[in-house]
Amino acid sequence: MTNNPSPQSLCGGAQSKTYMKKAGKRPTRISLSTQLSDKNYSIGKNLKKSHVSELAHRVNSSPGGLTLVLTSHDVAVEDFCMSNCGSHGHKANSVFIWVGNSVTQCPG
């Protein structure tokens, strides 16, 4: 059995608390929410950047929430590895981050 690290420890738990305290802010609270998987590739395997935003907003995260979109090795997103390996964006009160899988799509 493997002990998985907490989200707080992955994000520098004690370190972020120190920075927030020095800035006069309350510590950030991280909680995990809904996880969705689009195993049927509802939009296809060749995506535009706008498709990534569409996928992110299917989660309906709460205000202040952050959605993480991870694409599979067999999903191509426009300009991936040519100008970026991921991106971020927002819509209304929802923020998202997209990270592509570079294993089979990026040279070198």
Shared domain check, 68 and 97 = yes
Shared domain check, 56 and 103 = yes
Shared domain check, 89 and 37 = yes
Show the domain range for 53. Answer: 33-108
Per-residue pLDDT of the chain (108 residues; tens, 9 = 90+): 455 555 545 444 555 566 667 777 776 677 777 788 899 999 999 999 889 888 888 887 777 778 888 888 899 888 777 666 666 566 666 788 888 887 777 776
How deeply is 39 buried, as exposed, middle or buried, from its count of CB atoms within 10 A (0-12, 13-18, 19+)?
A: exposed
- Closest among 95, 64, 70, 96 to 85, alpha carbons compared: 70
Given this model, what pLDDT does residue 1 score?
Answer: 46
- The tokens for 48 are 């535009």
The structural domain count of the chain equals 2
Which ranges of the chain does DSSP label H, i.e. alpha helix?
7-10, 13-22, 49-56
Shared domain check, 103 and 66 = yes
Of all helices (H) and strands (E), which one includes residue 93? Answer: none
Listed in sequence order, the residues at least 6 apart from 102 whose beta carbon sits closer than 8 Å to its beta carbon are 80, 81, 85
Given this model, what pLDDT does residue 44 score?
Answer: 95
